[in-house]
Structure 1
């Protein structure tokens, strides 16, 4: 499941591509046809993320709520070579889409977007760029109040300016659950997944099985700072690389998927890692760096 940095990066990219423009919305799957029709032709005001949830707010007050779940993806589509129609015209070449035009939207040079696949739940298109949503756990048009009901159940998101770290500190101090489990609970802190859970505990030197209330204030402050730093780097790089640049043996751009981490599926310390299940997921711990 994509972690919070991925959703925030999607929000930034979609804000750049679609916000302030008339958006053409269409659905290859009938299950979301009504929702797409409701959004079609509206101007996107804002794309934002809270943890693993993505929200689009439109000018008429409608809110698109998307949670990718385990298999969902957004695919950015750009135009292919121009294809003229029988009369020599290029469909949609005028620029921003009109209602019902999201299936094929042309760039200003006449190049045409590829048709969405049959598995596309939703396509959003504007000015020759489209975003295709495939396989989400949730895709719904909701009201602002319904969006607020969702976010009210989420913990603080370290990537948001309105995050309140004291909420997380309070939850930890009142809990005997393992800190590694608490970090995965989205109502405790939003956006952290299994990779960041293992890496953050290692960086701060906390055994993920330690009870939350046994985390000291200094450890918590270090944990929050490192969480914010790591997630921001994840947004910037659009990937998870937790090691510092000076610790890497080559540039980040040359790292293969999964490289550049301390304990998640690899051993950078030289000490044999301990591997065990926690919160239903495999967790890695270095006995030397994270003493019990």
Structure 2
């Protein structure tokens, strides 16, 4: 499942590629036909992310809410080629010879697979597949969704004090709390495990046993890690000195991760075997040597 940095990259991409212009919306699959009709022909005026939710605002006052879930993905097409999830164009991607209709809108290719929603403008298109949520809502409904979410470390309105109040009173483990979107929005399995490793915290520590000092450091580190993810397009958690080649440019995981997906491998810091167990339906990774 995409984590918070990906949604913020998506929001920025929609702002750049679709913001301020009229959008044609459709549902090739048919499951989103009513919602598409509500925003078809409207101007996309706003784009924002909160946790794992993407919100696209239109001049009608309606908002398109998308939650990618485990299998959702956006595909973008424009003159620079195709790319997924709003990431920068891959090296060597083929440029597309775009056809346009008499009104100047791009004529996208025939949809492939179950395309839930398709957005088209004068410079390209975006296809959504496999999302767990895709709906058009009012601004009041948008606020209601956000009210159920915890602070998002990437948003300027994030309030870490709100998350701390929940964490400091809870008997639940930090590994469970960090995955709860009503505690901190946007944290997934990778950021959960990696941030706790970097902080040297046993993931099974109850929230109420964490000191305020360690909480503040954990929050600040999550902010930095997520910002790096927005900048780089993938998750980097290892410090340069803990990489096989400290001077090399980081490449996508697992070389940029400490414990995730490294069950049984030696810890990059202490050489203890990386441990893993199932917790609330997800695999938790940690190092018994570094996280006491």
What TM-score range do you get, normalising by the shorter chain?
A: 0.7 to 0.9
Question: Between Structure 1 and Structure 2, how many residues are aligned?
Answer: 268
Q: Does 1:240 align with 2:235?
A: yes
Q: Does 1:92 align with 2:93?
A: no
For 2:52 and 2:228, the matched residues in 1 are separated by: 17
The match for 1:59 is: 59
Q: Does 1:221 align with 2:216?
A: yes
By how many angstroms is 1:258 displaced? 2.7
Q: Does 1:124 align with 2:119?
A: yes
For 2:110 and 2:242, the matched residues in 1 are separated by: 44
* Helix, strand or coil at the partner of 1:163: coil
The match for 1:147 is: 142
What aligned pairs does 1:100-249 form with structure 2 within 5 A after superposition?
A: 105-106=106-107, 113-248=108-243, 249=245
Runs of 4+, deviation exceeding 4 Å: none
The match for 1:73 is: 73
For 1:25 and 1:59, the matched residues in 2 are separated by: 14
Q: For the Cα contact (< 8 Å) 1:77–1:114, is it kept in 2?
A: no
| Deviation string, structure 1 residues 68-91 (Cα, Å, up to 9, x no partner) | 111010011125335xxxxxxx54
| Structure 1 gap ranges (5+) | 83-89, 98-104, 107-112
By how many angstroms is 1:229 displaced? 0.2
Q: For the Cα contact (< 8 Å) 1:28–1:118, is it kept in 2?
A: no
By how many angstroms is 1:117 displaced? 2.2
Q: For the Cα contact (< 8 Å) 2:236–2:252, is it kept in 1?
A: no
By how many angstroms is 1:38 displaced? 1.4
For 1:57 and 1:244, the matched residues in 2 are separated by: 38
The match for 2:249 is: 251
| Deviation string, structure 1 residues 144-177 (Cα, Å, up to 9, x no partner) | 0011111100111001000000011100111000
The match for 1:109 is: none
Q: Taking structure 1 as the reference length, what is the TM-score of the superposition?
A: 0.88
Q: Structure 1 residues 237 and 256, CA, compared in 2 at 3 Å: closer, same or farther? A: closer
What aligned pairs does 1:21-40 form with structure 2 within 5 A after superposition?
A: 21-40=21-40
Select between 175-184 and 236-245 the one with higher mean Cα deviation: 236-245
The match for 1:277 is: 278
Q: Structure 1 residues 251 and 271, CA, compared in 2 at 3 Å: closer, same or farther? A: same
* Helix, strand or coil at the partner of 1:161: coil
| Deviation string, structure 1 residues 215-245 (Cα, Å, up to 9, x no partner) | 1011001100000000011111111111134
Q: Does 1:20 align with 2:59?
A: no
Q: For the Cα contact (< 8 Å) 1:205–1:289, is it kept in 2?
A: yes
For 2:101 and 2:291, the matched residues in 1 are separated by: 58
Two-structure CA RMSD over aligned residues (Å): 1.5
The match for 1:289 is: 290
Q: For the Cα contact (< 8 Å) 2:115–2:129, is it kept in 1?
A: yes
The match for 2:258 is: 262
Q: Taking structure 2 as the reference length, what is the TM-score of the superposition?
A: 0.88
| Structure 2 gap ranges (5+) | 80-95
The match for 2:46 is: 46
Q: For the Cα contact (< 8 Å) 1:53–1:67, is it kept in 2?
A: yes
* Helix, strand or coil at the partner of 1:77: strand
